Structure formats: structure tokens, C-alpha cells
Chain A
């Protein structure tokens, strides 16, 4: 099983990467991790600080599962590819972000997930191995979200196109 770990373009997320490194000492998965400016040495996984956008796209195609911080960029990209995704929220109390907006993000999107959705939320890295074992078994054809999204009658892109074209 091939796993891509990504912590996004801004800050490192050592708690997550350490947890995966530890888990992988027994699981021995093929793990490639984008870790940001992280000074730690990891012996159980392959790491890189940043990826160019083309390299990143190639790694997304390569992997079977993505494990990431709860960033909207990663969620949207995995939704578009219908890719298995486990998100772990950054917490301000550990200095992992300026505030707890990743918890707010999760509060909005976790209700759309279930034990059979391709997106899973893992609030505590202690549960990461179990979540990984559960998601591994799922068919790649499952839905990314198993609950209907909140009905969104407005189309943001169409609105913006109209707005801009009317002005031109």
C-alpha cells in the first residue's frame, strides 16, 4: 500500500509525521511524506520538505491513501480524485497553527463522512493506525462523502463569471 503524507505548503506538523513514522516501523508501508520545514529525522518513512505542484500531482496519482492535516486544499484535491483521505486537525495548543480553524473545518465536514466514506477524520493520532486499517479495506469506488452535502443552490463560479463579464 502506498501512502502520501502531506502537511501543506505552510507549517510543519511534527505530531502527525512522528505518529506515522512510529506506526510504519511495524506496518512497513511505502510512505512518502511532504513535511515542510521540519528539523526532525525520520527513519521509517521517506520525507521531502516541499513538492512542486507537478511533483505533488504525480504523488497524488501514485498513492492509494493520503494522510494529511485538515486543510481544505487537500480535501478538495482528494474529493476531485475520489482518493482515500485521512485528515488530522492541527491544534493551536500545540503551536501547530495560529488558531483552531482546522477543528471548525472538521466540524463542517465530518458529518458528511462515515465508516464507509473515502474521507475519514482522525482527531487523535493514537487512533491513526486503526483508521488506516479501516480505510485500507474500503473499495476505491466508495463515495468520498456518504452523506449528501448541504444543499448549495448557488454556484460560486457561475456568479463570479457573470459578475466579471458584466463589467467587461
Chain B
């Protein structure tokens, strides 16, 4: 069955924010597929609508094609209308994959970035349909402020 959206982020602070925002949004849980990165080889999904992908960071960019392929498979399987991410690098890759597969894409920059958009966010805003910051003073130039996670 197709999903309304895929919500994807790196495990850790990005994923904690994404989970909290999705809780506030109060979607039917079957409408969302949550995707996060593996913390180690033994990591497994902790609930039904969660899928895991490999991890990648700016220091391990060589692994990007693996994530791109994993996201490609998930998007083709679940056919989400939207892909939403809070970052970081795996989120950016997902935005690009989403665009290529004609999905709607949204980047929500981490609340930890209080002075300027994250490095990934500055690239993501060139691709994403919607880019949000969690600090009003960072809005402008295709970046909007619509509230923050806490």
C-alpha cells in the first residue's frame, strides 16, 4: 500500500526532532514510513513502520551511492507523495532521489543550526520544494520559518 510520506533522518538528534514533529503533525501512523540510519551492523527497526538504511556523513561520502540506491528502492516500493527530512547527509540524498522520482520534498533544518542553515540545508534548499528553518531570523531566500520543534 502506498504511503502519504516518507520521513527520513540520520539516527540521533535529527531523528529525534523528526519523530517529535511527526507526532505533533498527528498523521495516521500507517501513512508514514520512518527511515533512519543504522548505528551499527546489528541495529534493527524498533517499530513496524520503520526502515533502516546505511549511514553516510561528509567524511564517508563514498558511501552515498549505497544510500541513494536504498532510498530509491524504498521510494519505488512505498510511492510516497512527500519525502520529508531534518537532515543530515542521508536526508540530502533523499531529497535528490525524491526529486528524480517526481516526489514532493521538504527539508526542515535542524534546530541546532541557530546562526546559519546547515551545510546540507544550504544545498537542499536548491532542490527541495519546501525548505523550513526553525529560527525566524534565518528565514528568507526560499527558506521559511513555520515554528520549531520545542
Contact = CB atoms under 8 A, between A and B. Distances in A.
Interface of A: 8-10, 49-54, 71-77, 79-80, 98, 101-102, 104-105, 107-108, 149, 152-161, 163-164, 167-168
Contact of B13 (A50, A73, A157): A73
Interface in B111-127: 111-115
Nearest to A74: B13
A53 B46 contact: yes
Interface string B68-109: 000000000000011010000000000000000000101010
Interface of B: 4-5, 10-17, 20-27, 39-40, 42-44, 46, 57-58, 81-82, 84, 104, 106, 108, 110-115, 130, 132, 134, 145-150
Identify which of B15, B22, B104, B115 gathers the most chain A CB atoms within 10 Å of its CB: B115
B12 A104 contact: no
A contacts with B: majority SS: helix
B16 A76 contact: yes
A2 B76 CA distance: 46
Nearest to A108: B114
A50 B134 CA distance: 28
Contacts of B84: 160, 164
Contacts of A71: 12-13, 112
A77 B16 contact: yes
Contact of A156 (B46, B113, B115, B149): B149
B146 A49 contact: no
B contacts with A: majority SS: loop
B46 A157 contact: no
Contacts of A105: 111-112, 114
Contacts of B17: 72-73, 76
Nearest to B43: A52
Given A72-B112, A152-B148, A158 B24 contact: yes
Identify which of A73, A102, A155 gathers the most chain B CB atoms within 10 Å of its CB: A73
A107 B44 CA distance: 36
Closest 10 CB pairs of A and B: A157-B24, A73-B13, A9-B12, A154-B147, A156-B147, A73-B16, A157-B25, A161-B25, A159-B146, A104-B114
B12 A52 contact: no
B114 A157 contact: no
Given A101-B113, A105-B114, A163 B130 contact: yes
Nearest to A55: B46
A9 B21 contact: no
A108 to B, nearest CB: 5
B131 to A, nearest CB: 12
B108 A156 contact: yes
Contacts of B15: 73
A111 to B, nearest CB: 12
